Amino acid sequence: MSTVGRQTYRHGDLRETLLSAGLEMAREGGPDAVVLREATRRAGVSPNAAYRHFADRRALLLAVSATAQGLAANSMEAAIAAIPTSGDPKVDAREGLRAVGLGYLAFARTEPGLFRTAFSVPDDLSNAESPAKAGSGGRTPFQLLAGVLDRLVEAGAMPRERRAGAELLAWSSVHGLGMLMIDGPLRGLTEDMIEDASARLVDMVARGL
Amino acid sequence: MSTVGRQTYRHGDLRETLLSAGLEMAREGGPDAVVLREATRRAGVSPNAAYRHFADRRALLLAVSATAQGLAANSMEAAIAAIPTSGDPKVDAREGLRAVGLGYLAFARTEPGLFRTAFSVPDDLSNAESPAKAGSGGRTPFQLLAGVLDRLVEAGAMPRERRAGAELLAWSSVHGLGMLMIDGPLRGLTEDMIEDASARLVDMVARGL
DNA sequence: TGTCATTGTGGACAGTGTACACATGTGGGA
DNA sequence: TCCCACATGTGTACACTGTCCACAATGACA
């Protein structure tokens, strides 16, 4: 491929360009749709140029995944921001938990490709607070969840002895519904059923935590 | 490819052979590792022979997925069978629910590749009771779950008005933990942490349903 | 026995990830 | 200011994938 559509030999910001090309492909078709050669094609660059910025396809995918997690965080933050304060700290804390869960699920529903790319690429809890995964508010999905759980304890709406590891429980439930809705056996549910299931699920978590 | 290692031109049971080859690949590397050509290679047959039995790679993958769901059902049934009866129907029903969840999670942990192949391939609830997905007891994972939920209601351990759609809630929670453990951000958890999280999760579900 | 649908083969093609050698710019020290 | 090392992009090549097409072997049944 020659340097068509570009005057300079250097691209200028290839890494970023590849990343957003990858993000776009992920949006349309999930992690499997993130293909390296296509990204370089969209960037107007030869296939191998990508290897100057990403060790391999996997590395690109991880970067895309992190970015997608940031977008998920945005959705969660938006849901948090939308809840009116009631004055009662307990109620507010519970609403915060609900909002985090519903924001996560809303992201799954509106951006299924990105959701799958964000959370079904092999990763590790040790990276859960990496700034690359933060939304515009500066916090990652994991940090947002941890935050509302902390508030829940402080407000006395959740026994302190159950706090440790509660992220995993809450996250699991919501994540599972998201996955089953998207490419698991729960596809084909109507919008209403999804809405209903989402609400009931976060209630169940709030009750059971 | 010639008919090496095989005297007859006809293979005899190619469909089944491809299926178990696919299952083996899925076991080792999840859905992405199920590659059509490799399956035919293992069956000692030319690549195109597969197309006499499966429309395309996707069809093979779906068949493998169904088989894997049957294996998951086996794991769940084993967990159910292992619980001692207490005499108290309420207690028994709750233990049944726990067993179903823990059996599902045990399968996820011991057969991560098969688990992902079973439950993260696009499917539909309308196929949830397909005999192809049944375990040796003749019931699919979905049917097993529905069964324990029914018992829960009959035993009076769960309000009847919450029964509808409860499968989705219970399934979501347990499925989410499984996925996050395997290739999501919850990898790297120690055996103990997983054990603990699993137990707490099913308790949460039992409490919150 | 002859016919014909079923099952398998062979060759081909486009597309993928990635390795290796090479080309082209650019910034920092002489 | 020159020049060169280093970063970045190109070209070629290879092995591998899914899948299409035309053809060959086989076995069941008329």
Average pLDDT, chain B: 95
To the nearest whole angstrom, how far is the Cα of B54 from the nearest Cα of chain A?
A: 21
CA of A170: which chain B residue's CA is closest?
Answer: B173
In a domain, B33, yes or no: no
How does residue A188 score in pLDDT terms, banded at 50, 70 and 90?
confident
Domain that holds residue A123: 66-208
Overall domain count for chain B: 1
A205 touches chain B (CB under 8 A): yes
The reply to whether A137 falls in a domain is yes
- CB of B46 within 8 A of CB of B16? no
Q: Is the confidence at residue A206, as pLDDT, over 70?
A: yes
Mean pLDDT value across chain A: 94
Task: With CA atoms as reference, report the closest residue to A64 among A103, A32, A105.
Answer: A32
Residue A5 has pLDDT above 70, yes or no: no
With respect to residue A101, please indicate whether it lies within any of the assigned structural domains.
yes
Name the residues in B17-56 having a C-beta closer than 7 Å to nucleic acid strand C: 45-49, 52-53
Nearest residue (Cα to C1') for D7?
A52
Q: Which tens digit of pLDDT belongs to each residue from B118-172?
A: 998 998 899 999 999 999 999 999 999 999 999 999 999 999 999 999 999 999 9
In a domain, B11, yes or no: no
What is the band of A185 on the pLDDT scale with cuts at 50, 70, 90?
A: confident
What chain B residue is nearest to A207 in terms of C-alpha separation? B208
Query: Is B96 a member of any domain?
Result: yes
* B contacts of A187 (beta carbons < 8 Å): 122-125
Domain CATH code at residue B151: 1.10.357
Residue B52 confidence (pLDDT): 98
Round to whole Å and give the CA distance between A172 and A184: 15
Rounded mean pLDDT, A65-84: 98
Write out chain B in H/E/C secondary structure.
Answer: CCCCCCCCCCCCCHHHHHHHHHHHHHHHHCHHHCCHHHHHHHHCCCHHHHHHCCCCHHHHHHHHHHHHHHHHHHHHHHHHHHCCCCCCHHHHHHHHHHHHHHHHHHHHHHCHHHHHHHHCCCCCHHHCCCHHHCCCCCCCHHHHHHHHHHHHHHCCCCCHHHCCCHHHHHHHHHHHHHHHHHCCCCCCCCHHHHHHHHHHHHHHHHHHC
Cα angle value A147/A152/A153 (rounded, 5°): 100
Question: Across the interface, do B205 and A208 touch by the CB < 8 Å criterion?
Answer: yes
Does some domain include residue B6? Answer: no
The mean pLDDT value for A106-129 works out to: 95
What stretches in chain B show pLDDT beneath 70?
A: 1-5
Flag whether B87 is in a domain.
yes
pLDDT attached to residue A1: 44
| Residue A73 placed within a domain | yes
Confidence of residue A76 (pLDDT cuts 50, 70, 90): very high
Is pLDDT above 70 for A142?
yes
